[in-house]
Amino acid sequence: MSLLLNTLTFLRARELGRQARAIRASIDTLPQAARSEAAALAIREMQRAGQLQVPHFHGASDVQPYQPWTDVAAQATGKAQAGAVQLRVRGIAQWLTVVYYETRGSAQPRLAALHREVLGMLGELRGSYAAHAARDTLLEASAA
């Protein structure tokens, strides 16, 4: 049973890693106003999902008993690669929300690293990550 669980976890981490690269590419192509909108939408989605009994099922219409995850992250990745900016914003926010809750508290190192990456993407969208990185770089330069 442990081997099966480890295999499923490995495959899921690999799939989410591929999706994370696609989401990162979508974020990089967004204009600044759309990035702020995506951050605000992701925060609202996370708050709504946090109220659910199983938050990483947020946005799923058909959940089977004992199902460890849904296809919402894959659908959100597809939306994030669409041509319309509004659809891309919605897909990015939905993907960040679902994957945030799916990877939160994971003992598996690849999923924990992915969780940190999701937090980094959210911080980048909000502008806080870039602002802190720039400030730290300026502080290091002035100290030298």
Inside any domain, residue 22: yes
φ, ψ dihedrals at 72, nearest 5°: -60, -40
Q: How far apart are CA 26 and CA 55, in angstroms?
A: 24
pTM: 0.78
- Dump pLDDT digits (tens) for 95-136: 999 899 888 888 889 989 999 999 999 988 888 555 545 555
How distant is the alpha carbon of residue 40 from its chain centre? 14
Q: Tally the domains of the chain.
A: 1
- Dump pLDDT digits (tens) for 19-47: 999 999 999 999 888 998 999 989 888 88
Q: Would you say 84 and 59 are in contact if contact means Cβ atoms under 8 Å apart? A: no
Q: Would you say 86 and 47 are in contact if contact means Cβ atoms under 8 Å apart? A: no
Whole-number pLDDT of residue 68? 58
Inside any domain, residue 24: yes
Whole-number pLDDT of residue 89? 93
> Where is pLDDT greater, at 45 or 72?
45
Inside any domain, residue 133: yes
Place of tokens 């993407």: 121
133-to-27, 128, 129, 130 alpha-carbon distances in Å: 18, 8, 6, 5
Inside any domain, residue 55: yes
Residue-range definition of the domain harbouring residue 116: 2-59+70-143
Cα-based torsion angle of the residue sequence 120, 122, 124, 126 in order, rounded to the nearest 10 degrees: -150
In this structure, the number of other CB atoms found within 10 A of the CB of residue 131 comes to 12
Inside any domain, residue 64: no
Inside any domain, residue 32: yes
Inside any domain, residue 65: no
Whole-number pLDDT of residue 136? 53
H-state helical runs in the chain:
2-29, 32-50, 72-80, 85-103, 109-126, 128-143
Inside any domain, residue 25: yes
